[in-house]
Amino acid sequence: LASVCYILTAAELFNKTKDTDWLKEKMPSIERAGKYILSQKSSQGFFGGAGFYIELPPRKEWDGITQCYCFKAFNDMRIMLSALNESQKADFWKEQADSLAKTFRRYFWTNGHFAEYIHPEHGAVDFHGLTDIDWAAIAYGLADDIQIRDLWPALKNEKNFWWGDMPTQIVTKPYA
């Protein structure tokens, strides 16, 4: 997950500074990070990883948050390369993001929201109610318009997310 964070951090820095000289200097290492992420793609089209924090309950193999952040990293690669007028490379990363989005929507969408993760033996794990994956899928553009229409009201109204008037919980049914 370090490679994903590296790209996300570079994108944040570039977004803030708009310094194309800095970006041009750093882009070779940023691209290597992206290529490393692609080298970790499973035959199912998922990226391994168990999230970016300690989950309760723990997740195994293909975590939805990892897919969401890989999608964001690929889109950030597209944006940064576009800023450097590297349209062919930018198109390549757009294709990677689009491919991941298609796979994500196909396998993670279940029962009106997104599953937490795909277990290698048991498939989609969806025991813990609404989750952080639902929030991230909407935030980063993985959810389509129909999914957002169905999911957003449920997220906003789910009291088990909202402790202290903020959505601070990552699942609504942690002990299910």
Task: Please work out, in degrees rounded to the nearest 5, the angle formed at the alpha carbon of residue 139 by the alpha carbons of 133 and 145.
Answer: 95
pLDDT digits (tens, 9 = 90+) for 121-162: 888 988 889 999 999 999 999 999 999 999 999 998 888 887
How far CA 133 is from CA of 24, 72, 106, 128, 130, in Å, comes to 33, 13, 14, 11, 8
Beta bridge partners of 171: 131
Question: Has this prediction a pTM greater than 0.75?
Answer: yes
> Distance between CA atoms of 138 and 156, rounded to whole angstroms?
12
pLDDT of residue 36: 96
Lowest mean pLDDT among 6-10, 14-18, 84-88, 123-127: 123-127
> Distance between CA atoms of 19 and 22, rounded to whole angstroms?
5
pLDDT of residue 27: 98
Instruction: Please provide the distance, in angstroms rounded to a whole number, between the alpha carbons at the two ends of the chain.
Output: 27
pLDDT of residue 115: 94
Would you give the DSSP letter of residue 49? B
Q: How many CB atoms lie within 10 A of CB 150?
A: 13
Residue 10 — very low, low, confident or very high, per pLDDT cuts 50/70/90? very high
Q: b/e map of 67-106 (b: 16 or more CB within 10 Å)? A: bbbbbbbbbbbbebbebeebeebbebbbebbeebbebbee
For 20, the token pair is 């194309």
pLDDT of residue 58: 67
pLDDT of residue 50: 66
pLDDT digits (tens, 9 = 90+) for 14-71: 999 999 999 999 999 999 999 999 999 999 899 987 666 655 566 778 899 999 999 9
